[in-house]
Structure 1
Amino acid sequence: MMLSPVVFHSPVAIITKDEEEKARKIKMSEIIERYKDKVSTLPKQESWMNNHVYKYQGFWYHQGFWYHSNASFSVEAIMATQDDFKAKPTDVFLASHPKSGTTWLKALVFAIMTRTKFKSGFSSSSTHPLLTISPHDCVPFIETESFLNNPAYANGLMATHIPYNSLPESIVSSNCRIVYICRNPKDVFVSYWHFMNKVRDNASASIKLKDVFEMFSSGISPVGPFWDHVIGYRKASLERPDKVLFLNYEELQKDANNEVKKLAKFVGYPFTEEEEATGRVEELINLCSFEKLKEANKANKDGDETSNVLSNEFFFRKGKVGDSVNYLTTEMIQILDEITKEKYDGLDISF
């Protein structure tokens, strides 16, 4: 059954207006104050960013403002989302652990669900939003929307890094669709390490790989333990395969055509025989390729040193499968492989 067409929304206009940004920061402060007492009771550990992460419902989160005055993925944001967010049965949620292919998944599903709106095609001469706008501006995180006075909840397509067991109750009970993408933990760790070094306030004091490896492998990392994050969604996909689709980043790289067709069917926008015959699937995949998205976002650097918004270029490094071998020692690889084998036993997750 086809779902209602997704409504294109770009919060770019919101974050570039001084008055909206001021209102956002005020609301951030109000939410942080609202959950201050609750957060104070949580276990805490030192994090990668030389501050603390707090353990909430089995996972670790930063508290309050943790980079560039941004509280969007803090423990308070998770709590506020759980309390306030109301999902609808027609919604589609794109879930992931950070650095697991989130940007790519957002681009693919947004392109799939809006392809009738942009009938001119996906060529370089078309006016498709993904040619000029970041996928993160096209598909908002529900954690960041908590701080907006006019959240884009009505769009029907949203993303989240929240673990499955911590999702707002309405997301599960409404029977809406959830797409989860997982990735090899070795590549996730290295990608996350690079990303954290980019967002640090003091760029001269980079985080050393060996200093955070033990934290990651023991589960103490933002929105970690990584393996538990994956396991929650994997089990949900086995229990409710019609509502939770579990995708593999490596498989998507290997067989994009079939994986994208499976994805389109799951979210309610299957490709027609005519679309497949005329190369529409391949056009969409090309539009959402790493190279195209990275090029499109070179001129779309929204962030700055004082903004709460990260530059879009931060989300594009290499996107290659197996690049972690160039950074990890043999011992590190062995440790992560052993943890992965033990954690994923019986869940049919492979890379």
Structure 2
Amino acid sequence: MITIDQERQHCSIVVDDGNRKTSKITETKSPSFLIIMPSKFLTLKFLYQSPIGALLTKDHHSTNGKDNCEIRKAKNDPNLKNDEILAKYVLSIPKAIRMNGLLLQGYLAYPKVLRRIENFEIRTDDIWLCTYPKSGTTWTEEILSLIFANGDIDAVSKKIIAERVLHLEIGKPFGHLKWLRSTPSPRLLATHLNVENIPGQLRQGKAKIIYVVRNPKDNAVSYYHHHRISTFLGNYSGSWDEFVDLFAKGYLVYGPWLDHVRGFWELKQRIPDSVLFVSYEELKVDLKRMIGIICDFVGHPLTENQIDRITSHCSFEKMRNNKMVNREELPVADLFDMSKSKFMRKGIIGDWRNHFTAEQSKRFDEIFQPELVKMGLPIVYDHDTAEEIMSKHGRIIRTNE
């Protein structure tokens, strides 16, 4: 229930999630009205085009010297004047912001939360999933959730994935950090933020990090379709050719793919016991083996039967039809327009061949491959190669493992 009273200049917000009610009183100058709406029927339009929007987007900038986070509206970036491609993209994203220069969506990313991320308290038994968007995040979230449920499918069957693996920078309109802090251990948490913007204690190796990387060509294809269906990304209407250019130049939300991957790869070299690198291609070729490796890394061993159950449950077809993970059930109703594409679309290695021209493929090779070789990070682009390497060596990403 949301009550906004102009005379008293306060906003009382009560969110009913079916189990408990939480409330918050905030000053406002909004006109009087009363709205009763269960949280699962909230919409972005309601949140951001009502007086509540001013509360969500307000930047509570610290003046006590403890807040070194720079947050600004992306539309005010002076670089937009000199780069038409960048300007067109940034201005298509509703309320886009930059956090220490990193481009982020505006919806559900709150300045008040972002400013507190650097000093967010990490627990030693936290498990963090860090990924560039569309690298296999949801897939790995489901795997982790089931590992800590000991392979009990029924235990997770009625709770959406967003409530089992909690996202750091994107979340509840009110009380998001409090929700994260109150979650019992061991917490499963996820973020798309680059290394520079994750919590400081996490960069120091206080908790375990699983980083999932996907080859940049398939990643670009998946991110393209994700942009098209995502209301919070402006339902991208540009061409595929334009999007390839945006990806290659590192202009997209969450920044350059290469910088993101490199940052976590270098973190792994510095604190190898705290970071596990997993590739999407490894998960696709030998899911059972990779589940076992993840179990070992997080210190939660399972029996072979339990791993078999998770492997079967996490096949792409079952995931695609699972409403608890495929974003058909959401606490905010209009996050995605799935009339254009499903959230979980194909789940294959090599779909890039159906989108990239020969020239675009060559451009990606020239941009990314020399840097990946320099890093010592092996990346594969087709299923047969991935299968051959996995069969011969057990892993694709073997360096320093």
Normalising TM by the smaller chain, what interval? Answer: 0.7 to 0.9
Letter matched to residue 344 of structure 2: F
Structure 1 position 319 matched with structure 2 position 347: yes
Change (3 A) 1:318 1:168: same
The CA deviation at 1:54 is 5.2
- Residue-pair matches, total: 318
Distance 1:268 1:311, change over 3 A: farther
Q: Say if 1:94 and 1:179, in contact at 8 Å, map to a contact too.
A: yes
1:228 aligned residue (254, 259, 263): 259
Q: Find the aligned partners of 2:295 and 2:265 in 1 and give their Cα distance.
A: 19
Secondary structure class of the residue paired with 2:209: strand
Q: Match for residue 95 of structure 1?
A: 130
Deviations 1:88-114 (A, max 9, x none): 111111110100000101001111011
Structure number with larger C-alpha Rg:
2
| Deviation of 1:223 (Å) | 0.4
- TM-superposition CA deviations, 1:9-31 (whole Å, max 9, x none): xx897998249959987786435
Amino acid aligned to 2:308: E
**Which residue of the other structure, out of 369, 377, 388, is the alignment partner of 1:341?**
369
Q: Distance in 2 between matches of 1:250 and 1:107?
A: 17
2:166–2:190: 8 Å Cα contact kept in structure 1? yes
Letter in 2 for 1:294: R
The alpha-carbon deviation at position 240 of structure 1 amounts to 1.0
Match of 2:142 in 1: 107
2:241 paired residue among 187, 193, 210: 210
Q: 1:77 to 1:160 in 2, by over 3 A?
A: farther
Structure 1 position 301, deviation (Å): 2.3
- Give yes or no for contact 1:103–1:315 (8 Å, CA) kept in 2: no
Asked whether 1:34 is paired with 2:59, we answer yes
Could you tell me how far apart the structure 2 residues matched to 1:33 and 1:328 are? 41
Match of 1:301 among 314, 321, 328: 328
1:179 to 210, 218, 224: 210
Matched, 1:71 2:108: yes
- AA at the equivalent of 1:141: H
Residues 197-253 of structure 1: CA distance to partner in whole angstroms, max 9, x if unpaired? 112489998321012221110110110101110111111112111111111110121
Residue number in structure 2 paired with 1:60: 103
- Give the structure 2 partner of residue 46 of structure 1: 87
Q: CA deviation at 1:318?
A: 0.8
Out of 169, 192, 195, the residue aligned to residue 200 of structure 2 is: 169
Report the CA distance between 1:340 and its aligned residue.
1.3
The 2-side partners of 1:115 and 1:329 are apart by 44
The answer to whether the 8 A contact 2:114-2:169 is kept is no
Aligned-residue identity in percent:
23
CA separation of 1:148 and 1:14: change in aligned 2, threshold 3 A = farther
Q: Which position in structure 1 is the counterpart of 2:4?
A: none
Alpha-carbon distance, 1:189 to partner: 0.7
The worse-fitting range, judged by mean Cα deviation, of 312-321 and 99-108 is 312-321
Amino acid at match of 1:223: Y
Secondary structure, in 3 states, of the residue corresponding to 1:162? coil
Find the aligned partners of 2:369 and 2:212 in 1 and give their Cα distance: 18
Contact 1:97 / 1:182 at 8 angstroms: preserved in 2?
yes
Match for 1:280 among 279, 303, 306? 306
Which residue identity lines up with residue 268 of structure 2 in the other structure?
S
User: How far did 1:338 drift?
Assistant: 1.5
Quick one: which amino acid aligns to residue 371 of structure 2?
K
**Structure 1 residue matching 2:374: 3-state secondary structure:** coil
Aligned twin of 2:190: 159
Which residue does the alignment assign to 1:196? 227
Tell me if the contact between 1:180 and 1:247 (Cα under 8 Å) persists in the aligned partners.
yes
8 Å CA contact retained: 2:71, 2:99: no
Checking the alignment, whether the CA contact within 8 Å between 1:303 and 1:311 is kept in structure 2 is: no
Asked whether the equivalents of residues 227 and 236 of structure 2 are also in contact (C-alpha less than 8 Å), the reply is no
Query: What is the correspondence of 1:120-131 to structure 2 with a 5 Å cutoff?
Result: 122=153, 127-129=154-156, 131=157
Structure 2: distance between partners of 1:84 and 1:242: 22
Cα pair distance change 1:174/1:321, threshold 3 Å: closer
Note if contact 1:140-1:152 (Cα within 8 Å) is conserved in structure 2: yes
Structure 2: which amino acid aligns with 1:264? C
**CA drift at 1:280:** 2.4
Residue 344 of structure 1 deviates from its aligned partner by 1.5
Matched-pair contact (CA < 8 Å) for 2:212–2:278: yes
Output the aligned Cα RMSD.
Answer: 3.6
- The equivalent residue for 1:265 is 296
TM-score, scaled relative to structure 1: 0.78
CA separation of 1:61 and 1:258: change in aligned 2, threshold 3 A: same
1:251 corresponds in structure 2 to: 282
Using a 3 Å threshold, how does the CA distance of structure 1 residues 311 and 212 change in structure 2: closer, same or farther? closer
SS in 2 for 1:332: helix
1:293-322 deviation digits (Å, cap 9, x = unpaired) = 111228972359x84544798421111111
In the superposition, relative to structure 1, how do residues 202 and 341 fare at CA in structure 2: closer, same or farther (>3 Å)? closer
Aligned residue in 1 for 2:3 = none
Contact 1:103 1:136 in 2 (8 A): no
SS of equivalent to 1:151: helix
